[in-house]
Structure 1
Amino acid sequence: MSINPVPSQNIRNVLGERLASCCFDPITGFFRDGFCHTGPYDLGQHTVCAQMTSEFLNFSQQVGNDLSTPLPEIGFDGLQPGDFWCICVTRWKEAYDAGVAPPIKLQACHERALDFISLEVLRNYAI
């Protein structure tokens, strides 16, 4: 399957401003462009730019998404605490509900995250 390019209108963050980059090393985002853009093929809504913590990485692994283990066959080196990564908004919300939500780069969180989480809650985790 070929992934369509990011729509030009898909550029706003949760503050209504131009979407800032999340991370280029490691390169993140559903489109692997360094941004938390989303689109119709992004069923997970990778719209939250989160800074990885040990607690979140352990939580994510326990609920079925191991982000720490390298997968060289797909060019994934695994994430470490301190890395930034575009994560699924629902996973962030699950971590929030469990008390292990990682901090976020608010300017790099896509506006679609607001479909699931209030700006007030997101602001409390902004770094």
Structure 2
Amino acid sequence: MRGDRNVFGDPLEPCGTDPLTGFYRDGCCNTGPEDIGQHTVCAMVSREFLAQQQQVGNDLTTPRPEFGFPGLTPGDRWCVCADRWLESYRMGAAAPVVLAATNARALEVIPIEMLREHAVDVPADPGGLDA
């Protein structure tokens, strides 16, 4: 792990290993200067989200082995770009979000309230949701 923090300010939890996600393919939504797209939102992709992304030209279902991308199916956990998630939110197709595995840098693009609306994890201390 790189020491990145989640939206609660805690150490970033893993997002997914099957398929192996993350810009750095380390299972976490870590980010850095090389990550131009800010793959910081840990989403549990839904059929609606995948269809909406394909509609706007971001095909997340077709495998691209040359990029280490297996292609996604509904229910997969994947680090998605903050801008792409926000776009899907505005179009009514936001994927559920795992807040403990969502990088704090996502808050530079997406208000915490929007992420909370679609949270599928509940922290041990719900008071942290007020962050």
TM-score by length of 2: 0.87
Correspondence 1:44-63 to 2 at 5 A: 44-63=37-56
Tell me whether 1:34 sits opposite 2:27 in the alignment. yes
Give the counterpart of 1:25 among 18, 29, 45: 18
Unmatched segments (≥5 aa) in structure 1: 1-5
Unmatched segments (≥5 aa) in structure 2: 121-131
Q: CA deviation at 1:64?
A: 1.2
* Whole-Å separation in 2 of the counterparts to 1:28 and 1:104: 14
Q: CA deviation at 1:76?
A: 2.7
Q: CA deviation at 1:72?
A: 3.6
Work out the percentage of aligned pairs sharing the same amino acid. Answer: 56
TM-score by length of 1: 0.89
**Which amino acid in 1 is paired with 2:43?**
A
1:13-39 deviations in Å (ceiling 9; x for gaps) = 001111000000100000000000000
What is the number of equivalent residue pairs in this alignment? 120
Q: CA deviation at 1:110?
A: 0.3
The 10-residue stretch of structure 1 (26-35 or 71-80) with the greater mean CA deviation from structure 2: 71-80
Q: Which runs of 4+ in 1 moved over 3 A?
A: 72-75
1:74-93 deviations in Å (ceiling 9; x for gaps) = 44321000000000000000
Question: What RMSD in Å do the two structures reach over aligned CA positions?
Answer: 1.3
Equivalent position of 1:3 in the other structure: none
Equivalent position of 1:98 in the other structure: 91
* Whole-Å separation in 1 of the counterparts to 2:105 and 2:67: 27
Tell me whether 1:118 sits opposite 2:111 in the alignment. yes
**C-alpha distance 105-99 of structure 1, shift in aligned 2 (>3 A):** same
**Which amino acid in 1 is paired with 2:88?**
A
